[in-house]
Amino acid sequence: MSTGLEPLQLAFKQLRLAEVSLELPTLMREAEQQSWTYHEFLDHLLTFELTKREEKNKVKRLKWAKFPYHKTLEAYELSEQTSLTERQMKQLKEMNWLEQQYNLILLGPPGVGKTHLAIGMGLEAIEKGYQVMFLPMGELMTILKTSEYTRKSQLALGRIKKADLIIIDDLMYMAMDQREANQFFHLINHLYERSSIILTSNKSPDQWGELLGDEGIATAILDRLLHRVEVVQMNDESYRMKNRQSMFT
């Protein structure tokens, strides 16, 4: 019987413990140097495998989310806003609302930090193991309109429906026709009480009806979105304007 590590490494690979298989020589040396007990050795093997798997899964979740840029909640200038308190921000970071399938609507004019806040919460959710997907409203409508006949859109729609958190940026930035409104309703209806949704918009919910072109569909969408929701009204001066760089002195 071979006493080398190769048969053990092969066995770990067959058991789908690929990370441990690669690291086994190093872990064996450390076990000998530190005089680990059998229990400690097993604990180190399993902890190493689980840690590496989670690191890889997080990379996959980040790629899957399709964020346009990465801005964390720590980088969000809470002092620039009067709409959120420090305590409320901590509650959002705890993600209990996501576990309970609450929605979050961020309202306000351009430049007040709606998208940054949404992405920051998306990154926080990924850190906690949730699947997240970020979509500008225009891209979402393209996916919905073409999902019947393009494989790419079918795959994207499947990912949206599987996500724990869907971020829709710039909701209602333009009017929809009746077919688009119906497709959007069916998506919201599917996600209802299955996933949480973060919406950013510069239009308040009472304006959505005219943009959807159908009061009945607007009411049905709002009924599902507002059943469990926190609305953050961000009406402060544009953060981009306050912190812009100027060529004039």
- The residues, any chain, with a CB within 8 Å of residue 81's CB and separated by 6 or more, are 112, 113, 234, 236
Q: What is the rounded CA–CA span in Å between residue 106 and residue 232?
A: 5
Is 69 within the bounds of a domain?
A: no
Is 160 within the bounds of a domain?
A: yes
Average pLDDT over every residue of 72-76: 88
Is 234 within the bounds of a domain?
A: yes
Residue 45 is encoded by which pair of tokens?
Answer: 């093997």
The pLDDT of residue 245 is above 60: no
Give pLDDT tens digits for 88-108.
888 889 999 999 889 999 998
DSSP 128-187: TT--EEEEEHHHHHHHHHHTTT-HHHHHHHHHHHH-SEEEEESTTSS---HHHHHHHHHH
The pLDDT of residue 240 is above 60: no
Is 52 within the bounds of a domain?
A: yes
Q: What is the rounded CA–CA span in Å between residue 10 and residue 225?
A: 51
Give pLDDT tens digits for 156-206.
999 999 999 999 998 877 778 888 888 889 999 999 989 999 999 988 887
- Domain boundaries, position 22: 6-59
pLDDT at residue 221, rounded to an integer: 85
What's the number of domains the chain is made of?
2
- Assess whether 138 and 218 both reside in one domain: yes
- Assess whether 196 and 118 both reside in one domain: yes
pLDDT at residue 41, rounded to an integer: 92
Q: What is the rounded CA–CA span in Å between residue 133 and residue 131?
A: 7
The CATH number of the domain holding residue 132 is: 3.40.50.300
- At which residue do the structure tokens 């926080």 appear? 124
Give pLDDT tens digits for 120-149.
999 999 999 999 999 999 999 999 999 888
Cα distances from 144 to residues 174, 187, 203, 215, in angstroms, run 16, 9, 22, 21
pTM: 0.80
- Assess whether 220 and 173 both reside in one domain: yes
pLDDT at residue 174, rounded to an integer: 74
Q: How far apart are the first and last CA of the chain?
A: 80
pLDDT at residue 241, rounded to an integer: 34
Q: What is the rounded CA–CA span in Å between residue 60 and residue 82?
A: 35
Q: What is the rounded CA–CA span in Å between residue 182 and residue 162?
A: 20
Is 71 within the bounds of a domain?
A: no
Residue-averaged pLDDT of the chain? 86
The pLDDT of residue 72 is above 60: yes
- Please tell me which residue, 241 or 164, carries the higher pLDDT value: 164
